[in-house]
Amino acid sequence: MTTTTDAVSTAPSDLPPTTPSSPRASRLLPRDPVLRLLTWTTLVNCLGNGLFLTVSTLYFTRILGYGVGTVGVVLTVAGLCGVLAGIPAGRAADRWGSKPVLILLIALEALGTVGYVLVDGFAAFAVLTCLLAAVDRGAAAVRNALYAEVLPADQRVTGRGYLRAVTNVAMGAGSVLAALTLQADSRPAYTATILADALSYALVALLLLRLPGTEHAPAARETAGAEPESPRDRRNPALRNLPFLVVTGLNSLLTLQFAMLEIGVPLWVVKDTTAPRALVAATLLVNTVLVVFLQVRATRGTEQPGAAARACARGGLLLAASCAVLGLAHGLPAVLASVVLLAGVALQAGGEVLSQAGGWALSYDLAGEGAHGSYQGVFSTGASVALMIGPALITLAVVGHGLAGWLLLGALFAASGAVMRPAVRWATAATA
């Protein structure tokens, strides 16, 4: 999960400088104009996403009238489409520039979201959902490449940590606002909410027009008189970089933590512990608050690949400890089980901020300059694979298998983090 601008007041040395003479709301924003603009785009985009994600399932089932199982199948197929979109989107960013490609993708998301209130028939709904998933995951990869182009190298990871904090706050605010739609439970209310999400995409596209342009596309270099690309140059460099692919795979394994938190913990609480069901909401709240306060600080010291790999290793150990503690909640009295579960989620939050900070740094440090789109596309695809298979993996291999299932998952996290260090040494040696 992610965080909020409250992180600014808790760790001011970790964030871009702020304007001391501005009102409180302005002081929470970075002084750097580029990062400030990215903050506004993130805030608007994620506020809309929070609205949509909260109401979408009920809109698909209650208003459009599709069965829960049918919607689940469509969303699974759409997830696969999203996995396939990251790599070509990243290559497009390298060729034509991340800014214009991202603006185009976000404009398509705006149009596609409007399509949900106009769609007629299951086939159209399924195609639209798959197309939007592909565009969304492609935009995520291009957005990460954009950060590499518009932020200084020594501020990329800290900037992403800050924007991730903003993401959590905005998503949470969107979810709260969406509660009004859920309470109304009418077609006009759902329609207005979905159109608000579409409007947020349109506003983001307009805001991105104000970002400074970049000159990283090969096409731009050819226009300037440089040698045209050879057939070998046109191949994705990230896919030819075996050490980077290994690092991407290890990061994907660490990304399974999100399925653990969002799927595994709720099912574990409800099915295998005596803790009250309301604790599910409390676990998500604890995670969100801790990430808000810790994510920016966790990026400190990850500037070098070796340090970033150590952050991943420490994150893997904390995730392993989290799994062990969560597994111990079975069979305990309700109050004690609740305490143990919250402690396990707190450990997960610590592992999350460290592993995410380390992963972001490695995705940039191990990428070739001028090819960040390709590398971010591959790295993002790895994470998308984990997000797609994670729910099924956690449900089948962990939940229902008691402490043994949790310990097995913890061992996977610990091993992934530990192997990251030699993998990064290999990757840095290969590019030296």
pLDDT in tens, 232-275: 556 789 899 999 999 999 999 999 999 999 899 999 998 899 99
Domain boundary among 200, 223, 246: 223
Question: Please, which pLDDT band fits residue 223 given cuts at 50, 70 and 90?
Answer: very low
Over pLDDT 90: what percentage of the chain?
Answer: 60
Among 43-52, 65-74, 282-291, 292-301, top mean pLDDT goes to: 43-52
Are 205 and 69 found together in one domain?
yes
| Angle subtended at Cα 387 by Cα 381 and Cα 392, rounded to the nearest 5 degrees | 135
Both tokens assigned to 305 = 């690949």
Predicted local distance difference test score (pLDDT) of residue 145? 92
Nearest Cα to 254, choosing from 311, 296, 328, 304?
311
C-alpha neighbours within 13 Å on the C-beta side of residue 152? 6
368 in Cβ contact with 375 (< 8 Å): yes
C-alpha neighbours within 13 Å on the C-beta side of residue 327? 20
pLDDT of 303 higher than 90: no
Digit-coded pLDDT (tens) for 369-406: 778 999 999 999 999 999 899 988 998 889 888 999 99
Task: Assign residue 7 a region (left: φ > 0; alpha: ψ between -120 and 50; beta: otherwise).
Answer: alpha
Is residue 92 in a domain? yes
Nearest Cα to 291, choosing from 175, 170, 165, 383?
165
Domain boundary among 194, 223, 252: 223
Q: How many Å apart are CA 353 and CA 158, to the nearest integer? A: 12
Are 262 and 217 found together in one domain?
no
CB neighbours of residue 90 within 10 Å:
30
Are 170 and 265 found together in one domain?
no
Number of structural domains, the chain? 2
Are 169 and 33 found together in one domain?
yes
CB neighbours of residue 67 within 10 Å:
10
Domain span at residue 126 reads 7-223
User: What element of type H or E holds 142?
Assistant: helix 122-150
Q: What amino acid is encoded at 259 in this protein?
A: A
Between 223 and 107, where is the model more confident? 107
- Tell me the pTM: 0.82
CB neighbours of residue 61 within 10 Å:
14
Domain boundary among 168, 190, 223: 223
Question: Please, which pLDDT band fits residue 210 given cuts at 50, 70 and 90?
Answer: very high
What does the DSSP 8-state code read for residue 264? I
CATH number reported for the structural domain that contains residue 337 in this entry: 1.20.1250.20
Average pLDDT of the segment spanning 408-413: 97
Is residue 162 in a domain? yes
CB within 8 A of 229, min separation 6: which ones? 218, 222
Is residue 375 in a domain? yes
Are 198 and 250 found together in one domain?
no
Digit-coded pLDDT (tens) for 13-37: 344 443 333 445 455 677 778 989 9
Q: How many Å apart are CA 102 and CA 301, to the nearest integer? A: 30
Q: What amino acid is encoded at 316 in this protein?
A: G
pLDDT of 225 higher than 50: no
Is residue 1 in a domain? no
Q: How many Å apart are CA 132 and CA 179, to the nearest integer? A: 24
